[in-house]
């Protein structure tokens, strides 16, 4: 909370996403007590999906490759998920899918799509719908997050669970067109614990710089009426150039941290 990013985002944003890491930490605590990554852990994961939002399910995919009792975990998810879906359908029909559908049609910043949009438009003249890019971004997000942690599959979950979480939401911040930068507060705490070496000045500088970007960029973006950068003509205005540059730097920081996950040296005992 002492960092500018989470302080502004939590106090002014009031987003429920902060509990995403809370559920992950609950899962970690359960595993440390029982050393069982089966049914009980699946129940906790599914609970997080129900009480927070659909994007919580994203990190299921890299997590799956790190589990030892995968089918027990899945059974725990089903035990909570099927009754919940039945109740939702009985009460709302398919309207409960509305947040997911909205998540593929609202362009948010900053991410790889928003910074490449003017150049893609310049090269190709027109672009597919945002929904197409959203589904493509989802596939890339899940693929990259799995790739980032797959080599950790033989290590104890207490060391690898935070990395699966970080890989997923860092990749989402980069590749998902409907991802907004200030959602970073959902993973800044594990990021500081897992990826920041406080003895290295560069690590501290990047962390503070990212927090500065996360606070400043959204305010400038809103001040200039949330441009979508449909073509290169917007770069004739200095404020637009400044805001676009901040977006690029944001995405670069996300990419740097995702690379840190991939190259993480997990100094933990391997499982037999």
Kindly give the interhelix angle for 130-149 and 238-262, rounded to the nearest 10 degrees: 30
Query: For the segment 187-237, what is each residue's pLDDT rounded down to a tens digit?
Result: 998 999 999 999 999 999 999 999 999 989 988 998 998 888 888 888 889
Rounded to 5°, angle at Cα 153 from 148 and 156: 120
Confidence of residue 246 (pLDDT cuts 50, 70, 90): very high
Of the given ranges (30-44, 61-75, 211-225), which has the lowest mean pLDDT?
211-225
d(Cα 195, Cα 259) in Å, to the nearest integer? 10
Confidence of residue 58 (pLDDT cuts 50, 70, 90): very high
d(Cα 84, Cα 98) in Å, to the nearest integer? 16
d(Cα 27, Cα 32) in Å, to the nearest integer? 9
The count of C-alpha atoms lying within 13 angstroms of the C-alpha of 123, restricted to the half-sphere facing its C-beta, is 5
For residue 49, the model assigns a pLDDT of 87
**CB neighbour burial string for 215-225, b if at least 16 within 10 angstroms, e if fewer:** bbbbeebeeee
Between 118 and 11, name the one with better pLDDT.
Answer: 118
272 has a pLDDT exceeding 60:
no
Confidence of residue 80 (pLDDT cuts 50, 70, 90): very high
Query: Residues, the chain, total?
Result: 272
List the chain domain ranges: 4-262
User: What is the value of pTM for the model shown?
Assistant: 0.90
Please provide residue 216's backbone torsions phi and psi, each rounded to the nearest 5 degrees.
-80, -45
**Residue range 147-163: average pLDDT?**
93
5 has a pLDDT exceeding 80:
no
């Amino acid at each position: 909370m002492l960092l500018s990013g989470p302080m502004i985002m939590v106090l002014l944003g009031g987003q429920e996403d902060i509990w995403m890491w809370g559920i992950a930490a609950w899962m970690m605590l359960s595993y440390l007590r029982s050393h069982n990554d089966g049914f009980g852990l699946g129940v906790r994961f599914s609970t997080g999906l129900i009480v927070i939002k659909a994007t919580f399910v994203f990190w299921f995919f890299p997590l799956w490759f790190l589990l030892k009792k995968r089918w027990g975990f899945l059974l725990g998810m089903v035990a909570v998920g099927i009754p919940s879906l039945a109740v939702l359908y009985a009460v709302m029909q398919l309207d409960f899918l509305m947040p997911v559908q909205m998540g593929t049609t609202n362009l948010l910043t900053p991410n790889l799509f928003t910074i490449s949009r003017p150049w893609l438009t310049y090269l190709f003249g027109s672009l597919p719908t945002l929904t197409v890019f959203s589904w493509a971004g989802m596939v890339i997000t899940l693929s990259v997050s799995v790739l980032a942690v797959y080599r950790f599959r033989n290590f104890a979950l207490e060391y690898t669970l935070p990395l699966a979480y970080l890989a997923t939401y860092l990749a989402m911040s980069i590749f998902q067109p409907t991802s907004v930068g200030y959602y970073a507060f959902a993973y800044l705490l594990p990021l500081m614990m897992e990826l920041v070496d406080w003895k290295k000045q560069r690590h501290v500088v990047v962390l503070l710089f990212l927090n500065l970007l996360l606070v400043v960029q959204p305010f400038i973006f809103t001040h200039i009426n949330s441009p979508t950068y449909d073509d290169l003509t917007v770069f004739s205005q200095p404020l637009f150039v400044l805001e676009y540059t901040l977006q690029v730097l944001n995405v670069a920081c996300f990419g740097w941290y995702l690379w840190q996950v991939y190259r993480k040296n997990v100094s933990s005992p391997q499982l037999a």
